[in-house]
Amino acid sequence: MTSRIALRGDLLDFTADPGFSPAAEAPGVRWRPDHWLLIENGRIINALPAGSVDREADGGPDARWQRIDHRGRLILPGFIDTHVHSPQLDVIASHGGALLDWLERYTFPAERRYADPAVAHAGAARFVDALFAHGTTAAVVFPTVHKVSAEALFAAAQRRGMRLISGKVLMDCNAPDGLRDDVEQAERDCTDLIARWHGVGRLAYAVTVRFAGTSTREQLAMAGRLCAEHDGVFMQTHVAENTGEVHWIAGLFPEARSYLDVYERYGLIHSRSVLAHGIWLDDQDRSLLHERGAQIAFCPSSNLFLGSGLFDWWSAEAAGVTVSMGSDVGGGTSLSMLRTLADGYKVQALRGLHLTAWKSLYTATLGAARSLGLDREIGRIEAGNAADLAIWDWSVGPVAIHRDSLAGDLHERVFAWVMLGDERNLVETYVAGALVHARS
């Protein structure tokens, strides 16, 4: 049967990078107030001004369509989270410790439990549904070192029709018992997972190196081979998050010029590489990222919570480095990309850069999709793209409602929504045209 849904509301998305220009001069902002958005069999087919469409007219939302009226609400592409850890919902908001201590005290014990298939499957379902409940419809995700955790995550996403990029975590040293693999078995596991899940439906595999400190040279070389031998696979890891970590990696790999150079030596920096954090990079590192077409996933909430540092977005952009946005739960304290964007504004303000709402939202929608090579599928409200969408109230609660009423122009209104909004503003989430979350 043909599925036809028509959503009425205010459409906001992007056709180009708005850059750091003042709001009034920003290019690429597409604002279509009071439109019917037509979705057929999970894909967007048109957007029509509501006032110009007769419901019974050919091409409009006539009686064949399920019409859902969200007048006065925002309709945006679903958010894209380019760095998040599915098992770390178990340790979100755990007190104290910089990065390496926090991993030892909280993260590794939680991840060890995901060797149990029942824990892995329950955790994957909880995580995917939690993303939807925060308006995120696509993500690049770390599960755990256990093959079953990746299997469970892929299966949960597939059942829900979600665009997901993930892969078994690689760790064969400097990790506790129950969280280490070995090179040969890890390669077999990854090869099997790629064969079973990569390119199936809306799933893609990411060769997932936890970070350089938990992989031997042999395992890093194996990860590079996987990237070279399997078309279209991604690579995800962490880099230069914390000064203590940077010094530790320098001691482990004295032959490398920098932390990033460790990955470069093993063929892990390429156009499908997503590297989280990148706070403590230098100009030579940024030049390499630009040459290879790799991206940095900026994770402001986590960086603030763990005291890791302030990412230099301006220098990254000046060097031609693509920047996307990650919640980095559980170092980050919310799956909400609105909260993440608000923290990103604050981090950049401390560096003297005042982000517009346009740049922030672009980075979490079309910008992320482009950086992943997926902009013909997700990230914007465009005919032919998957109907991955989120419906939002402009304001919730007396303070936000009052502030919204005083906004002088569209950017001021959207900026206040980003700063004051969170998952309470979310009304509905759609994945491939299917309702996957509705506010009760």
How much is the pLDDT for 370? 98
Instruction: Give the 3-state DSSP-derived string for the chain, with helices as H, strands as E and coil as C.
Output: CCCEEEEEEEEEEECCCCCCCCHHHCCCEEEEEEEEEEEECCEEEEEEEHHHCCCCCCCCCCCCCEEEEEEEEEEEECEEEEEEEHHHHHCCCCCCCCHHHHHHHHHHHHHHHHHCHHHHHHHHHHHHHHHHCCCEEEEEEECCCCHHHHHHHHHHHHHHCCEEEECCEECCCCCCCCCCCCHHHHHHHHHHHHHHHCCCCCEEEEEEECCHHHCCHHHHHHHHHHHHHCCCCEEEEEECCCHHHHHHHHHHCCCCCCHHHHHHHCCCCCCCEEEEECCCCCHHHHHHHHHHCCEEEECHHHHHHCCCCCCCHHHHHHCCCEEEECCCECCECCCCHHHHHHHHHHHHHHCCCCCCHHHHHHHCCHHHHHHCCCCCCCCCCCCCCECCEEEECCCCCHHHHHHHHCCCCHHHHHHHHHHHCCHHHEEEEEECCEEEEECC
Of 78, 67, 79, 143, which is closest to residue 110 (Cα–Cα)? 143
**CA–CA gap between residue 106 and residue 303 (Å, rounded):** 17
How much is the pLDDT for 57? 53
pLDDT tens column, 155-170: 999 999 999 999 999 9
Q: Which distant-in-sequence residues (6+ apart) come within 8 Å of 114 by Cβ?
A: 87, 120, 123, 143, 144, 146, 148, 149
Q: Are 295 and 324 in contact (CB under 8 A)?
A: yes
Which residue in the block uniquely carries the two structure tokens 């902002």? Answer: 29
How much is the pLDDT for 23? 85
Q: What CATH fold (topology level) applies to the domain 4-77+387-438?
A: Urease, subunit C; domain 1 (2.30.40)
Residue 74 CA from chain centroid, whole number: 20
Give every residue of the chain whose pLDDT is below 70, as ranges: 53-60
pLDDT tens column, 220-239: 999 999 999 999 999 999 99
How much is the pLDDT for 97? 77
Going from N- to C-terminal start, the domains of the chain cover 4-77+387-438, 79-335
Q: Look up the CATH number of domain 79-335.
A: 3.20.20.140
User: 102: number of CA atoms within 13 Å, CB side?
Assistant: 23
Q: Are 325 and 341 in contact (CB under 8 A)?
A: yes
Q: Are 184 and 221 in contact (CB under 8 A)?
A: no
How much is the pLDDT for 110? 83
Which residue in the block uniquely carries the two structure tokens 């939680």? Answer: 110
The pTM (predicted TM-score) of the whole model is: 0.96
What are the phi and psi torsion angles at 239 (to 5°)? -150, 135
